[in-house]
Amino acid sequence: MSGPKDSVYSLSPERRREEERIRKEMLEKEKVRRQIEQASIEIQSNVKKAEEYVIHFKHSNSYQTDYEKNLSVFKKSMTDIYEELPVTIVSDNLSLLRGNLRVYEKAKEDIISKLAEMKTFLYEIEFSASEFKKETVKTFDISGRSQDDNGKVSVESTYLNFKKLLQPYLINQDITNKSEVKQLDRSVDSIYSDKGLDDQAKLELINMREKGFHIMKHKFDRKINETQRKKAEFEGLLIEYSSLCQLLDEEQRSFTFSSEKSGTDKSLLKELIAEQQIKLQKQTETELISSTIQEVMEELEYNVIGAEHLTTPKREIDHNVYEFNGNNVINSYVSDNGSVLFEVTGLKEDNQNLTDQEKLRIKEGMDEFCSVFPEVKDKLKERGVEVTLRTSLPASEEYARAINLAQIQETSKRGKRKRRQLNDTRKKS
């Protein structure tokens, strides 16, 4: 029985663990790369924001050349952090990738902190320029409140401190309903500008609203923390989903975080991830089997001369072509449904019929491979791949056919890249 040989394969426990390790490592590398890319995007965005703040300030009524040096220091500190970042994020070394991720995450935190300091500095300048009409000699009491010459807490400093306290909550994107904060902001503006109130009355009213805000603040902080937790969980799922899409060469669906519909999108993402995990397992298993067959065939001096990846509505198949006795080739087809087919064929351009002599040479090749196949099976078993024959058709000119090698070689680059990536991972174990 020497015609096409249809078999099923199974992996030994050791090779199964190896497949799982390879798959998890591939996914982890892709996830870390994407986390680095995301951190890099956020860093660049915040550096750009700093530049925009400076441009806006220079065109505002608050601008004074005296502040130029302070702004330059803020901007340079952020630019220096960005420019010192490592650029080797394309590395295939997981430890190096993780190290780079830590560097990028630390840089992101530092730049966010610097940007917050810069925003506070600009806010104070703009507020001072628009609100303070006279120079006030300031000292500070133990609570941090500014005092006037007579040691009294000033209305101006109390107003400014409360405005600074409200500012982060007014601009925070994680608070969807800011009506209460905005109402407080307008209320304190009205109190401060009310010429019918004396300073003591203003202080009492502003302090009353500040106490009310501190009660409200706990609710906002809980909301912010809850939204950030949901967002972090969502982004983690999104990174895993996009990484799987990249590894599977699939188009990625678009998802954007929304606190209102995060539960629905999260459930959908989990479903998609579960489906893709199964696909990735089949893909890495198929590539592992193809790679192992290639090792065996090359050990027997049958070198690979072509490879392609075939996709059908229900199957993904790796097809390798090996040189064999000059006139014929050996084909191995490894499918993600757990089957492997070995077949001897001739070589021919498309739309050319085989001559009787060519069919005879292919049949002779089938007979020759019959004596080789048991050794192929034994060597695969030594490597933890058990091949169980399901059907083996007889050597016959009836089954003789030819393939177009030139056409297959056009798609060889992608197939070889996949196997090369798999082999490199295995060599590091």
Decide if pLDDT at 385 tops 60: yes
- Does 225 fall in a domain? no
Q: Which pLDDT belongs to residue 118?
A: 83
- Does 389 fall in a domain? yes
- Does 347 fall in a domain? yes
Report CA dihedral (352, 357, 360, 361) to the nearest 10 degrees: -80
Q: For 305-321, what is each residue's pLDDT tens digit?
A: 999 988 888 888 999 99
Q: Which pLDDT belongs to residue 107?
A: 93
* CA-to-CA separations, 265 to 6, 254, 272, 403, in angstroms, rounded: 43, 11, 10, 47
Write a three-state SS string for the chain: CCCCEEEEEEECHHHHHHHHHHHHHHHHHHHHHHHHHHHHHHHHHHHHHHHHHHHHHHCCCCCCHHHHHHHHHHHHHHHHHHHCCCCCCCCCCHHHHHHHHHHHHHHHHHHHHHHHHHHHHHHHHHHHHHHCCCCCCCEECCCCCEECCCCCECHHHHHHHHHHHHHHHHHCCCCCCCHHHHHHHHHHHHHHHCCCCCHHHHHHHHHHHHHHHHHHHHHHHHHHHHHHHHHHHHHHHHHHHHHHHHHHCCCCCCCCCCCCCHHHHHHHHHHHHHHHHHHHHHHHHHHHHHHHHHHHHHHCCCCEEEEEEEECCCCEEEEEEEEECCCEEEEEEEECCCEEEEEEEEECCCCCCCCHHHHHHHHHHHHHHHHHHHHHHHHHHHCCEEEEEEEECCCCHHHCCEECHHHHHHCHHHHHHHHHHHHHHHHCC
- Does 308 fall in a domain? yes
What confidence category does residue 92 fall into, taking pLDDT thresholds of 50, 70 and 90?
A: confident
Q: For 121-141, what is each residue's pLDDT tens digit?
A: 776 776 665 554 434 333 333
- Does 65 fall in a domain? no
- Looking at the 3D structure of the chain, how many domains does it have? 1
Q: Which pLDDT belongs to residue 387?
A: 93
What confidence category does residue 143 fall into, taking pLDDT thresholds of 50, 70 and 90?
A: very low
pLDDT, the chain, mean: 83
Tokens linked to 414? 């992608």
- Does 315 fall in a domain? yes
Question: Residues 351-364: what's their mean pLDDT?
Answer: 89
Q: Which pLDDT belongs to residue 90?
A: 63
Q: For 270-291, what is each residue's pLDDT tens digit?
A: 999 999 999 999 999 999 999 9
What confidence category does residue 153 fall into, taking pLDDT thresholds of 50, 70 and 90?
A: low
257: closest CA among 170, 171, 169, 173?
Answer: 173
- Residue 187 or 130, more confident: 187
Q: Which pLDDT belongs to residue 154?
A: 84
Domain that holds residue 353: 5-15+283-427
Of 143-147, 167-171, 271-275, 368-372, the poorest mean pLDDT is in 143-147
- Does 273 fall in a domain? no
Query: What's the CA gap between 217 and 316, in Å, rounded?
Result: 56
Backbone phi and psi for residue 153, each to the nearest 5 degrees, phi listed first: -65, 125
Question: Residues 349-378: what's their mean pLDDT?
Answer: 90
Question: Residues 346-351: what's their mean pLDDT?
Answer: 81
Q: For 390-424, what is each residue's pLDDT tens digit?
A: 888 888 999 899 998 888 887 665 444 444 344 44
pTM of the model: 0.73
- Does 319 fall in a domain? yes
